[in-house]
Amino acid sequence: MSPNAVYHAAFQLVRGPFVLGLCAGVLAGCTRSEKGEAAEAKTEAAEAHESHEDELTPFQLKNGIGPITEEVKVGPVDKGLAAQGEKAFSAKCTACHKIGEKYVGPALGGVTERRTPTYVMNMILNPQEMYEKHPVARELLGEFMTQMPNLGLTRDEARAIMEYLRTQGAAAAAAK
Protein backbone atom coordinates (compact mmCIF):
# COMPACT_ATOMS: atom_id res chain seq x y z
CA MET A 1 0.00 0.00 0.00
CA SER A 2 1.38 3.40 -0.90
CA PRO A 3 2.04 6.02 1.80
CA ASN A 4 -0.73 8.12 0.27
CA ALA A 5 -3.25 5.28 0.62
CA VAL A 6 -2.18 4.67 4.25
CA TYR A 7 -2.56 8.37 5.04
CA HIS A 8 -5.97 8.43 3.34
CA ALA A 9 -7.20 5.33 5.23
CA ALA A 10 -5.94 6.72 8.56
CA PHE A 11 -7.60 10.07 7.86
CA GLN A 12 -10.93 8.35 7.13
CA LEU A 13 -10.75 6.48 10.45
CA VAL A 14 -9.90 9.60 12.47
CA ARG A 15 -12.09 12.08 10.63
CA GLY A 16 -15.46 10.72 11.83
CA PRO A 17 -14.72 10.70 15.57
CA PHE A 18 -12.83 14.01 15.30
CA VAL A 19 -15.71 15.79 13.58
CA LEU A 20 -18.20 14.23 15.99
CA GLY A 21 -16.11 15.32 18.99
CA LEU A 22 -15.66 18.80 17.57
CA CYS A 23 -19.41 19.19 17.01
CA ALA A 24 -20.22 17.89 20.49
CA GLY A 25 -17.75 20.33 22.03
CA VAL A 26 -19.11 23.28 20.10
CA LEU A 27 -22.70 22.37 20.98
CA ALA A 28 -21.86 21.89 24.64
CA GLY A 29 -20.10 25.25 24.71
CA CYS A 30 -23.05 26.95 23.02
CA THR A 31 -25.54 25.36 25.36
CA ARG A 32 -23.60 26.42 28.43
CA SER A 33 -23.26 29.93 27.05
CA GLU A 34 -26.94 30.18 26.12
CA LYS A 35 -28.00 28.82 29.51
CA GLY A 36 -25.72 31.29 31.25
CA GLU A 37 -27.04 34.17 29.16
CA ALA A 38 -30.63 33.04 29.70
CA ALA A 39 -30.10 32.85 33.46
CA GLU A 40 -28.45 36.26 33.45
CA ALA A 41 -31.29 37.75 31.37
CA LYS A 42 -33.84 36.16 33.70
CA THR A 43 -32.08 37.69 36.73
CA GLU A 44 -31.97 41.11 35.07
CA ALA A 45 -35.64 40.83 34.13
CA ALA A 46 -36.56 39.85 37.69
CA GLU A 47 -34.61 42.81 39.08
CA ALA A 48 -36.24 45.19 36.60
CA HIS A 49 -39.61 43.66 37.42
CA GLU A 50 -39.12 44.22 41.15
CA SER A 51 -37.89 47.78 40.74
CA HIS A 52 -40.77 48.80 38.45
CA GLU A 53 -43.40 47.07 40.56
CA ASP A 54 -42.34 49.20 43.52
CA GLU A 55 -42.84 52.33 41.37
CA LEU A 56 -46.41 51.51 40.35
CA THR A 57 -49.41 52.96 42.14
CA PRO A 58 -52.18 50.64 43.36
CA PHE A 59 -54.31 51.96 40.46
CA GLN A 60 -51.61 50.99 37.93
CA LEU A 61 -51.15 47.54 39.46
CA LYS A 62 -54.88 46.90 39.09
CA ASN A 63 -55.58 48.77 35.83
CA GLY A 64 -52.31 48.86 33.93
CA ILE A 65 -50.14 51.70 32.67
CA GLY A 66 -51.23 53.89 29.82
CA PRO A 67 -53.49 56.63 28.59
CA ILE A 68 -56.55 55.34 30.46
CA THR A 69 -55.97 56.83 33.90
CA GLU A 70 -59.47 56.51 35.31
CA GLU A 71 -61.36 53.30 35.87
CA VAL A 72 -63.56 52.43 32.87
CA LYS A 73 -67.11 51.88 34.08
CA VAL A 74 -69.16 49.33 32.19
CA GLY A 75 -72.83 48.44 32.37
CA PRO A 76 -74.76 45.96 30.28
CA VAL A 77 -72.97 44.95 27.08
CA ASP A 78 -73.47 47.49 24.28
CA LYS A 79 -74.19 45.15 21.35
CA GLY A 80 -73.51 47.80 18.69
CA LEU A 81 -70.15 48.68 20.21
CA ALA A 82 -69.33 44.97 20.63
CA ALA A 83 -70.08 44.41 16.91
CA GLN A 84 -67.65 47.22 16.02
CA GLY A 85 -65.12 45.65 18.37
CA GLU A 86 -65.53 42.24 16.76
CA LYS A 87 -64.71 43.74 13.36
CA ALA A 88 -61.66 45.54 14.75
CA PHE A 89 -60.57 42.39 16.62
CA SER A 90 -60.89 40.31 13.44
CA ALA A 91 -58.89 42.84 11.44
CA LYS A 92 -56.18 43.70 13.97
CA CYS A 93 -55.87 40.97 16.60
CA THR A 94 -56.55 37.50 15.17
CA ALA A 95 -53.10 37.11 13.66
CA CYS A 96 -51.86 36.55 17.23
CA HIS A 97 -54.91 35.95 19.44
CA LYS A 98 -57.68 33.38 19.51
CA ILE A 99 -60.60 33.45 21.90
CA GLY A 100 -60.52 29.87 23.14
CA GLU A 101 -56.88 28.85 22.75
CA LYS A 102 -53.36 30.06 23.23
CA TYR A 103 -51.76 31.06 19.96
CA VAL A 104 -48.92 33.55 19.45
CA GLY A 105 -50.42 35.43 22.40
CA PRO A 106 -52.73 34.36 25.20
CA ALA A 107 -56.30 33.16 24.67
CA LEU A 108 -58.58 36.15 25.22
CA GLY A 109 -61.78 34.32 26.15
CA GLY A 110 -62.61 35.41 29.68
CA VAL A 111 -59.92 38.10 29.75
CA THR A 112 -62.43 40.65 31.05
CA GLU A 113 -63.13 38.27 33.94
CA ARG A 114 -59.42 38.17 34.82
CA ARG A 115 -58.50 41.81 34.13
CA THR A 116 -60.27 45.12 34.54
CA PRO A 117 -61.65 46.90 31.47
CA THR A 118 -59.09 49.65 32.08
CA TYR A 119 -56.24 47.10 32.14
CA VAL A 120 -57.42 45.58 28.84
CA MET A 121 -57.59 48.98 27.17
CA ASN A 122 -54.17 50.06 28.50
CA MET A 123 -52.65 46.81 27.24
CA ILE A 124 -54.13 47.45 23.79
CA LEU A 125 -53.05 51.10 23.70
CA ASN A 126 -49.69 50.95 25.50
CA PRO A 127 -48.19 47.45 25.24
CA GLN A 128 -44.53 48.53 25.27
CA GLU A 129 -44.66 50.29 28.63
CA MET A 130 -46.89 47.56 30.03
CA TYR A 131 -44.23 44.96 29.17
CA GLU A 132 -41.50 47.13 30.62
CA LYS A 133 -43.20 47.92 33.93
CA HIS A 134 -46.31 45.88 34.74
CA PRO A 135 -45.77 42.54 36.51
CA VAL A 136 -48.67 40.73 34.82
CA ALA A 137 -47.64 41.86 31.33
CA ARG A 138 -44.03 40.89 32.07
CA GLU A 139 -45.20 37.45 33.18
CA LEU A 140 -47.14 37.04 29.93
CA LEU A 141 -44.09 38.10 27.94
CA GLY A 142 -42.05 35.46 29.77
CA GLU A 143 -44.64 32.82 28.92
CA PHE A 144 -45.26 33.72 25.27
CA MET A 145 -41.85 35.24 24.40
CA THR A 146 -43.55 37.63 21.97
CA GLN A 147 -44.38 41.27 22.56
CA MET A 148 -47.69 42.58 21.37
CA PRO A 149 -46.98 45.46 18.98
CA ASN A 150 -48.55 48.86 19.36
CA LEU A 151 -51.12 48.82 16.58
CA GLY A 152 -51.83 52.53 16.84
CA LEU A 153 -55.46 52.02 17.79
CA THR A 154 -57.57 54.87 19.11
CA ARG A 155 -59.23 54.89 22.52
CA ASP A 156 -62.57 54.32 20.78
CA GLU A 157 -61.23 51.27 18.93
CA ALA A 158 -59.71 49.88 22.12
CA ARG A 159 -62.99 50.44 23.94
CA ALA A 160 -64.90 48.63 21.17
CA ILE A 161 -62.50 45.66 21.26
CA MET A 162 -62.81 45.51 25.03
CA GLU A 163 -66.62 45.52 24.69
CA TYR A 164 -66.41 42.64 22.22
CA LEU A 165 -64.13 40.74 24.60
CA ARG A 166 -66.76 41.18 27.32
CA THR A 167 -69.03 39.00 25.15
CA GLN A 168 -66.32 36.35 24.98
CA GLY A 169 -66.30 35.13 28.56
CA ALA A 170 -64.73 31.87 29.71
CA ALA A 171 -67.94 29.96 28.92
CA ALA A 172 -68.05 31.37 25.37
CA ALA A 173 -64.38 30.52 24.89
CA ALA A 174 -64.90 26.94 26.08
CA ALA A 175 -67.77 26.48 23.61
CA LYS A 176 -65.60 27.46 20.62
Give the contacts of 50 (CB within 8 A, at least 6 positions apart): none
104 in Cβ contact with 30 (< 8 Å): no
Q: Per-residue pLDDT for the chain (176 aa), expressed as one digit of tens each?
A: 555 554 444 445 444 444 444 444 434 444 444 444 444 544 554 454 455 667 999 999 999 999 999 999 999 999 999 999 999 999 999 999 999 999 999 999 999 999 999 999 999 999 999 999 999 999 999 999 999 999 999 999 999 999 999 999 866 656 65
Q: Concatenate the DSSP letters of all residues of 6-19 into one string.
A: HHHHHHHHHHHHHH
Q: What pLDDT does 169 receive? A: 86
Helices and strands in the chain: count of H runs, count of E runs:
9, 0
Q: What is the pTM of this model?
A: 0.69
The CA–CA distances, whole Å, from 125 to 34, 54, 64, 135 equal 34, 23, 10, 17
Report which DSSP code applies to 67: S
